[in-house]
Amino acid sequence: MTDNTTHFGYQQVPTADKVKLVRGVFDSVAGRYDLMNDLMSLGVHRLWKRIAISLSLVRSGEHVLDLAGGTGDLTALFEQRVGDSGKVVLADINAEMLKKGRNRMIDKGLAGNVHYAQVNAECLPFADNSFDCVCIGFGLRNVTDKAAALRSMHRVLKPGGRLIVLEFSKPTDQLTEAVYDFYSFNILPKIGKLVANDEASYRYLAESIRMHPDQSTLKQMMQEAGFERCDYFNMTQGIVAVHRGYKI
């Protein structure tokens, strides 16, 4: 990889093109995103998200930024925690995903303390020390410059604030890795073709997971961005991990 290229799944593409390519993937899958999440994970993604919320330590009255918030699963859970005196910003770089999330929150009656922003995680348009918690769920692997994004998240957190990164990661044993690889590259794209009429986007999603930093590498990246007391929690034999770091 050079300074002028980056990975899009297993492909090398011009760095300037990645945002557009990722946008195309999520424009394509937005309409069936929630259904596909349930099918792909057999519903386990809901448990992963609840565990991430618990690890966030978010309390009543706090301000939360839900980055790559998509259709709002995490936002709805955060909203229950912060209550009427708190605030949750549902943010996504993709307008179509953000629209789906906004409509879902309105349908749930969560209009009062949920706000919306179309943002790029690498250069967040919020003031320093704005949030008690920043969460990015299943989105960091799609960011072009992850180090810049982590620095931006650190900047907008208040002292004492927490970063939560919920993301696919590296299985902790060879058997799980072998089964997961077979499923990801042989079954998942076929489900995408059948349900969402889009095999290529789900093949990209499988590839993007493999290109994402493993648990220890991501922990080190968080530390380099200024986070302290960093740790991670494996779930489902490391297929998914929650990383947590603090701004001191």
Least Cα distance to 245 among 135, 169, 142 occurs for 135
* Helix ranges (DSSP H) in the chain: 15-29, 33-41, 45-56, 73-82, 95-107, 146-156, 174-182, 188-196, 199-211, 215-224
Helix (H) or strand (E) holding 166: strand 157-168
Q: Is 234 annotated as a binding residue?
A: no
Bridge partners of 135?
A: 66, 164
43 burial type by CB count under 10 A (0-12 exposed, 13-18 middle, 19+ buried): exposed
Contacts of 182 (CB under 8 A, 6+ apart): none
Is 129 annotated to bind a ligand? Reply is: no
Is 121 annotated for ligand binding? yes
**4 annotated among ligand-binding-site residues:** no
Q: Give the length of the chain.
A: 248
Annotated binding site for S-adenosyl-L-methionine: 71, 92, 120-121
Annotated binding site: 71, 92, 120-121
